[in-house]
Amino acid sequence: MNESRSKKLRIADVVVSALLLVLLISSSLTQAAYGMSTVKCTARPNGDTGSEVYGATETRITWEGQASESEVVRGISLEFPEGTTFSTENARLTILSGEKLMNRSTVPNTFTSDGQTITCTFDEDAPAGAYFRIEVYKVFFPGAGGTMQISGIYELADGAFREIEDIPAIEVVVSSPTDQLARSLREQPWVEAWNSNKFLRLFLNPPLIVSSFPVVFQGFLMALAIVVVAYPLAIPIGLLLAFMRMAKLGILRFLGSIYVNVVRGTPMFLQIYIAFFGLPLAGIQIPSFALGVIVLSMNSAAYLCEIFRAGIQSISKGQFEAARSLGMNGAQTMLHVIIPQTIRRVLPTMTSEFILLYKDTSLLAAVGVMEVVMYAKMIVSSTGSITPYVVAACFYLVITIPLAKLVGNLEARLSDKDSGSNQQKRKRGAKRTQLQAAQPQPEESGTEQACADQIRIEQA
């Protein structure tokens, strides 16, 4: 009897537990069915570069939410973080309803503001299960930036209020000095008059020049780093190729000639594509920066090879013979006599090659290397203005114009030095001729007397 009773109690406990579980599940489903969920809440990027949202700069907030099938909404309120300002002017509500939300409902509405809250009140109830989109213009988040959390509530037709769920936070970037300067420029009357001209607005937009400068400057540092690493690597490779092309061994001359002719005979753009797209297909993975340095250095080495070869061959053979007569071997002669003179002669041409190599870093933008042109291209794609390319051109000119001036000065100095050296040689030759003519001719031209005469002439 007791066993059957305890068995019945256990069955009753199981039934009660099941009923409680069903009630909990139905309660949660009912709550979910009656909750408006947020589909999207975004802020329009308000900088001239990238997709960031800056504080203290005008932006637009777009919120979209979906009501449940049984909810009839009468109004929606959005509360902005403390310190945020906005305007109800031009605020807009869009309602989609019906099967697959294909019907655009035109419900009369009114936007009002109260402190940090903007409220959209419908003059008539929205359709059940409608999809809502609210756009708020002239929104200014605090200049300090940070994570901005927007909250909201909505009113049902029966007068009940419920909280809007799952509104994502918006990350706001601190407004930099350049952004503040660009914003102040936009408010200047002369800038408005300047930008009223389409050509000036596209190519020389003052606010965009200011805002794009720090971004393009990052690419300038990257391009400078690439060429500063690539050029010193190209110099020893170029010297090695020059020695190979002048070697007595035929196979070395052949290999050096093949390399130089192939590299100089094909565009660098094609070489970059082969390296960046061909090597990964072959299973060779190299970081973009390192691969860009390798391609540029190998290309520049072929041109430096011809520069060094021409410089070495311009040294007279008497220099080689004089060094050998002093007991130097071939390596010592090249290291201590020939190369120093060669460097002095080819220094202007080497500087010109550095300028060309720096400009050629722009080709790496085609394969995604973040240098000057790539950063400028990103800004152009987001703004539709060519001004960032003009800013990029200025960064190239900052390097190329002073170096071009330096090349001109070096060439002029070397030219003056060569002309002065030739003039001194002519003067010494004329003086030697005069001394020889004034020297009395001995009756017996012995070896000792001839040597003494020659020493006196050399000393003079």
What's the rounded mean pLDDT across residues 349-377?
A: 93
- Please give the helix or strand (H or E) that residue 423 lies within, else none: helix 387-438
As a whole-number percent, the residues of the chain with pLDDT over 70 amount to: 82
Amino acid, single-letter form, for residue 100: K
Residues 4-25 have pLDDT tens digits of 555 555 665 555 455 545 444 4
Give the pLDDT of residue 437: 55
Residues 166-198 have pLDDT tens digits of 899 999 988 778 878 888 898 899 999 999 999
Give the pLDDT of residue 187: 83
Give the pLDDT of residue 2: 52
Buried b (16+ CB within 10 A) or exposed e, 168-207: eebebbebeebbbebbebbeeeebeeebeeeeebeebbbb
Amino acid, single-letter form, for residue 181: L
pLDDT band at 387 (very low <50, low <70, confident <90, very high): very high
Tell whether the model's pLDDT for residue 76 goes beyond 50: yes
Give the pLDDT of residue 408: 84
What's the rounded mean pLDDT across residues 83-103?
A: 86
Give the pLDDT of residue 375: 93
What's the rounded mean pLDDT across residues 220-247?
A: 94
Positions of E strands within 84-211: 85-97, 103-105, 109-114, 117-122, 131-140, 146-148, 151-156, 161-163, 170-172
- In this structure, the number of other CB atoms found within 10 A of the CB of residue 109 comes to 19
Give the pLDDT of residue 280: 93
DSSP for 392-421, please give it.
HHHHHHHHHHHHHHHHHHHHHHHHHHHHHH
Least confident of 38-42, 43-47, 342-346, 431-435: 431-435
Amino acid, single-letter form, for residue 157: A
Residue with tokens 């020893």: 236
Tell whether the model's pLDDT for residue 443 goes beyond 70: no
* Average pLDDT of every residue of the chain: 84
Tell whether the model's pLDDT for residue 160 goes beyond 80: yes
* Tokens linked to 187: 């408010």
What is the dihedral sign for C-alpha 394, 400, 402, 404? negative
- How far is the first Cα of the chain from the last one, in angstroms, to the nearest whole number? 145
* Tokens linked to 164: 């809007």
**Short-list 162, 163, 170, CA closest to 139:** 170
With a threshold of 0.85, does the pTM exceed it?
Answer: no
Give the pLDDT of residue 414: 72
As a whole-number percent, the residues of the chain with pLDDT over 90 amount to: 55
Least confident of 20-24, 79-83, 267-271, 359-363: 20-24
Compute the radius of gyration of the chain from its Cα atoms.
Answer: 40
Tell whether the model's pLDDT for residue 425 goes beyond 90: no
DSSP for 364-386, please give it.
GGGGT--SHHHHHHHHHHHH--S
* Residues ≥6 apart with Cβ < 8 Å to 222: 289, 369, 370, 371, 372
Give the pLDDT of residue 444: 44
Give the pLDDT of residue 27: 43
User: Rounded distance, CA 181 to CA 186, Å?
Assistant: 9
Summary count for the chain: helices (H), strands (E): 15, 12
Q: Is the pLDDT higher at 453 or at 202?
A: 202
User: Rounded distance, CA 457 to CA 460, Å?
Assistant: 5
User: Rounded distance, CA 361 to CA 219, Å?
Assistant: 10
What is the dihedral sign for C-alpha 86, 148, 186, 382? negative
- Please give the helix or strand (H or E) that residue 459 lies within, else none: helix 447-459
What's the rounded mean pLDDT across residues 64-82?
A: 93
What's the rounded mean pLDDT across residues 367-376?
A: 92
Residues 309-338 have pLDDT tens digits of 999 888 888 888 888 888 888 888 888 888
Q: How many CA atoms lie within 13 A of 8 on its CB side?
A: 5
